[in-house]
Chain A
Amino acid sequence: MIFSSAGIAAAAGVLSLLCCRRGGLAGVVGLAGTILSVTAGIVTLCTSPPNGVSLLFMLPTLILAPMAAIHSRAYIKGHGNPGIYWGFFNLTVATMLALPLIKEFLPFLIVWELMGIFSFVLVMFNYKADELKRPAWIYLLACEAGGLLLMLFYALSFKSGVSQELFYAIGMAGFGLKAGFPLLHIWLPEAHPAAPAPVSAIMSGAMINLGLMGILVFVFPGVDPALCGWTLLILGCIGSLGGIVFAFAQDNLKRVLAYSSIENIGIISMAVGCTFLGGAFNNNTMIVFGILGSVFHIINHALLKGTLFLGAGQVFCATGTLSIDKMGGLMKRTPVTGSCFTAAAVGLSGLPPFNGFIGELMIYLAAFSGICSGIVQLRFAGIAAALVLSLTGACAVVAFSKAIGGTFLGEPRKITECQKESPWMYVPMLCLLLLSVIAVFSAPFTAPAIIKLVKTPGLDTAVAGAEKILFYAASFSALFYILCTLILLCRRFLLVRGAENESGPTWDCGYAKPSARMEYTGSAIIQNLADLFNSFLQIRRKVDEPQGLFPSKASFEWESPDGSERFFWAPVFKFAAGVSDKVHKFQSGYLHVYVLIMTVALIAMVIWAIVS
């Protein structure tokens, strides 16, 4: 019964694949299937909620899947065969809905692999584009590498005498590849920009969380909680800071969002790490705030990152590019998208009054309760978490102000033609934002239920305190909303009364005839900060400076490729390729040589067996 939603989604997927000859029908079947399966999922959750953390990891999928599906309807028009898209979209959703409910590792592994393969098809849905081959290949490799590690993990679980550290490290790496832990995040900045926007939204908002879920459900039971806590905390600190620093150096809008996903999964791991540390040192407040922080942030990230990716999809459909430096001035032409994107970015940067603030507030409080606890280890952990979180928040504001400034504000730079925005695309974004506002106000009421789900007894006093704080935060947000509404009403009815409306170009700083070429680009906005972090980012610049009094030409290019790819994976793969090339000499193409090699090996083995 609990698998009904996944079953419906899978059936809808197969049906859509069956009618891939008739795109319109496939679209209807696919969209209806997604919505039906999500409805079934919500009904199941309400009537017979599954126990434990699985519910928490189903929620992002349940929220994002229908919104992404509605968005897809407009997005994939003219992008390939809708039957295939809807088929694999629904199949991916089915696997993602089923995974949190599976308690046995072997079936989990099978569904996990299926999820990787189905989503791979979605990533390379637009397979005719050449620039898509590399990202899709990287994504497939990452999925399969993760799957192989998990198979090894499963196999080792039957073998005694394996070192425990190695065993857990393999499990962590297998799931971490999906979650996008630092160094293993390699596929995120490649696959997200390449995938269709609704797919990126689902993958970023819901799928990477499943990696974390895998770690919590299958790797961590049986490990010392302090070790778990430290691992997650350190990984989270590195991931969140590294992710956001790389985020603001990117020019591709969806790459910015992908790096921001790495950051957010880092924040979530930090929160979970705090929870484990609190558990290890019996600090109830830290446990409660840690749990609330991680759960709220998972939900917030799903809602807000979903909105942002859908917004990026809308921008891509409107302009045909994702390069921030080429766009500009989109706020005037796609006002709803621009506003939603801005609101979601504000929320995801952890600024009040959106729900991102509530989540990060909880994590800060977890960190502070660690600092106040008087235990040296917790104090250290709390300081690290609070410091990293504040730095991350500040960098997130920079990254998003760059993305928004470059994309939506000012005048159009290179892309002057722009399609109108479609309600299919912005209605889901509005819904997600509405949900995130609801999430703010429901937080005080859901908090005890969330703690109960995780089933840790003896936390009542701490929960009561958390409730109170959440209540204050919600009231503060409510006040903010009321103020905003009042200001908007004033503007609408008092200030403008009798005045004439006139619209002109964006304020031009007093220049007589400014052109769009004189605008600050996205790269210009963050130049200072990029210089500051350059020892970490290692940006590749190509500057052709203007010469003389009347310079005729000047150019500036930069790119910021992924650090782990450049300095870790590329050398590793180069070495592997060198070794493979040497081995490749054996593959001469002569049957005789192959048989000869086999014969020699066979004889050597026989002699070895007899002699020894």
Chain B
Amino acid sequence: MNMAIDLVLTAFLGICLMLSASSRLVHCIRLVALQGILLGVLPLLMWNWSKACPGAEIWGAAFVNIMVKGVLLPILLIRAMRKAGVKRELEPLAGYSWSLLIVSVASALALWLSRSLTIPGVSVLAIPAAAVTVFTGLFIIVSRRKAITQSLGFLAFENGIALFGAAMHLEYGFFVELGILLDVLVLVFVMGIAVFQISREFEHIDADRLNLLTDTGEVK
């Protein structure tokens, strides 16, 4: 079973690298959806099957995770994308090769730092994979212009936090997870509506120009 878990965690790392280097929004959304599905599967993989079958709680968590993060949110995002009429993140604040480099360096750094953080019974890759996912999410929020990409970044960020919880067998992780899930759901809904409205009003959805909407209205 350990092999499978490590495989999934490595996939997380790979997805992060791909996410930081791809410009097509549909592709990014699919990657984040894949992250969500993997996250839903992870608790089942970590279960000690030789002892007993997992309870309804585990199955439920996996199901909800896969449905919301793997299916519902991507559909919402793709719809928002189509409505706003954007396909690519064309002018990121940090270029794609730079992004790839930064995330790779961050991964190396995370792997190096996590040497002192190994926890018995947990895969060595768990902490770096989670940290890198969190970092990639934040990095995407910082370095991309489109509101949709930024909410994708937030989703990735949230996946990273969830990965921490899942990999560490945190107690009550299920409830915490559901709470965060609700937050993300609301965020994506709001974002979906906002993106549509903004693109209708301003003919673009570049979040870096939204600071024109401050109460002073000063152009900075």
Check if B113 sits within 8 Å of A610, measured CB to CB: yes
* Bound: A285/B131 CA distance, A: 75
Check if B220 sits within 8 Å of A599, measured CB to CB: no
Cβ-based interface call for A595 (8 A) = yes
Kindly list the 4 A-B residue pairs having the minimum CB-CB distance in the complex, ordered from nearest: A589-B211, A599-B138, A596-B142, A595-B141
Cβ-based interface call for B164 (8 A) = no
Interface size, chain A (Cβ < 8 Å) = 15
Chain A residue with the shortest CB-CB distance to B138: A599
Check if A591 sits within 8 Å of B214, measured CB to CB: no
Chain B residues, Cβ within 8 Å of A603: 135
Check if A595 sits within 8 Å of B116, measured CB to CB: no
Cβ-based interface call for A588 (8 A) = yes
Check if B211 sits within 8 Å of A588, measured CB to CB: yes
Cβ-based interface call for A590 (8 A) = yes
Chain B residues, Cβ within 8 Å of A596: 142
Chain A residues, Cβ within 8 Å of B143: 592
Cβ-based interface call for A449 (8 A) = no
Chain A residue with the shortest CB-CB distance to B114: A610
- Please give 16 more A-B residue pairs, beta carbons under 8 A apart, in addition to A591-B207, A602-B138, A610-B116: A588-B211, A589-B211, A589-B220, A592-B93, A592-B141, A592-B142, A595-B141, A598-B138, A599-B135, A599-B138, A599-B139, A603-B135, A606-B113, A606-B131, A607-B113, A610-B113
Q: List A residues 555-612 near B (Cβ within 8 Å).
A: 588-593, 595-596, 598-599, 602-603, 606-607, 610
Check if A595 sits within 8 Å of B214, measured CB to CB: no
* Bound: A603/B134 CA distance, A: 11
Chain A residues, Cβ within 8 Å of B142: 592-593, 595-596, 599
Cβ-based interface call for B159 (8 A) = no
B111-128 vs A, CB cutoff 8 Å, 1 = contact: the mask equals 001001100000000000
Residue of A595, A596, A598, A602 with most chain B CB atoms under a 10 A cut-off: A595
Interface size, chain B (Cβ < 8 Å) = 18
* Bound: A111/B139 CA distance, A: 47
Chain A residues, Cβ within 8 Å of B214: 589
Chain A residue with the shortest CB-CB distance to B131: A606
- Binding site secondary structure of chain A: helix
**Which of B116, B131, B139, B208 touches A590 (beta carbons < 8 Å)?**
B208
Chain A residue with the shortest CB-CB distance to B117: A610
Check if A591 sits within 8 Å of B220, measured CB to CB: no
Provided the pairs A595-B138, A595-B142 are in contact, do residues A590 and B113 lie with their beta carbons within 8 angstroms? no
Chain B residue with the shortest CB-CB distance to A596: B142
* Bound: A49/B159 CA distance, A: 64
Chain B residue with the shortest CB-CB distance to A607: B113
Chain A residues, Cβ within 8 Å of B150: 591
Q: Supply 22 A–B pairs (Cβ within 8 Å), ascending by A.
A: A588-B211, A588-B220, A589-B220, A590-B208, A590-B211, A591-B150, A591-B208, A591-B210, A591-B211, A592-B93, A592-B141, A592-B142, A592-B143, A592-B207, A593-B142, A595-B138, A595-B142, A596-B142, A599-B142, A602-B138, A610-B113, A610-B116
* Bound: A598/B142 CA distance, A: 10
Q: List B residues 105-161 near A (Cβ within 8 Å).
A: 113, 116-117, 131, 135, 138-139, 141-143, 150
* Bound: A589/B210 CA distance, A: 8
* Bound: A599/B141 CA distance, A: 10
Chain B contacts to A: CB under 8 angstroms: 93, 113, 116-117, 131, 135, 138-139, 141-143, 150, 207-208, 210-211, 214, 220
Interchain nearest-CB distance for B159 vs A (Å)? 16
Check if A592 sits within 8 Å of B208, measured CB to CB: yes
* Bound: A591/B113 CA distance, A: 28
Chain B residue with the shortest CB-CB distance to A610: B113
Chain B residues, Cβ within 8 Å of A590: 208, 211
Chain A contacts to B: CB under 8 angstroms: 588-593, 595-596, 598-599, 602-603, 606-607, 610
Chain A residues, Cβ within 8 Å of B117: 610
* Bound: A598/B137 CA distance, A: 13
Chain B residues, Cβ within 8 Å of A593: 142
* Bound: A591/B142 CA distance, A: 8
* Bound: A592/B142 CA distance, A: 4
* Bound: A59/B85 CA distance, A: 73
Chain A residue with the shortest CB-CB distance to B139: A599
* Bound: A590/B220 CA distance, A: 10
* Bound: A603/B93 CA distance, A: 20
* Bound: A183/B141 CA distance, A: 49
Chain B residues, Cβ within 8 Å of A610: 113, 116-117
Chain A residues, Cβ within 8 Å of B207: 591-592
* Bound: A264/B93 CA distance, A: 65
Chain B residues, Cβ within 8 Å of A592: 93, 141-143, 207-208
Chain A residues, Cβ within 8 Å of B113: 606-607, 610
Chain A residue with the shortest CB-CB distance to B211: A589
Interchain nearest-CB distance for A429 vs B (Å)? 47
Interchain nearest-CB distance for A589 vs B (Å)? 3
Chain B residues, Cβ within 8 Å of A599: 135, 138-139, 142
Check if A591 sits within 8 Å of B141, measured CB to CB: yes
Chain B residue with the shortest CB-CB distance to A591: B207
Interchain nearest-CB distance for A285 vs B (Å)? 64
Interchain nearest-CB distance for B37 vs A (Å)? 26
Chain B residues, Cβ within 8 Å of A589: 211, 214, 220
* Bound: A599/B210 CA distance, A: 21
Chain B residues, Cβ within 8 Å of A607: 113
* Bound: A353/B33 CA distance, A: 89
Chain B residues, Cβ within 8 Å of A598: 138
* Bound: A599/B150 CA distance, A: 14
Interchain nearest-CB distance for B116 vs A (Å)? 6
Interchain nearest-CB distance for B82 vs A (Å)? 24
* Bound: A3/B119 CA distance, A: 59
Chain A residues, Cβ within 8 Å of B131: 606
* Bound: A607/B138 CA distance, A: 17
Residue of B131, B139, B142 with most chain A CB atoms under a 10 A cut-off: B142
Chain B residues, Cβ within 8 Å of A595: 138, 141-142
Interchain nearest-CB distance for B160 vs A (Å)? 12
* Bound: A592/B214 CA distance, A: 15
Interchain nearest-CB distance for A604 vs B (Å)? 12
* Bound: A588/B210 CA distance, A: 12
* Bound: A599/B117 CA distance, A: 20
Interchain nearest-CB distance for B154 vs A (Å)? 9
Interchain nearest-CB distance for A467 vs B (Å)? 66
Interchain nearest-CB distance for A594 vs B (Å)? 9
Chain A residues, Cβ within 8 Å of B139: 599
Chain B residue with the shortest CB-CB distance to A587: B214
Chain A residue with the shortest CB-CB distance to B207: A591
Chain A residue with the shortest CB-CB distance to B113: A610
Interchain nearest-CB distance for A223 vs B (Å)? 47
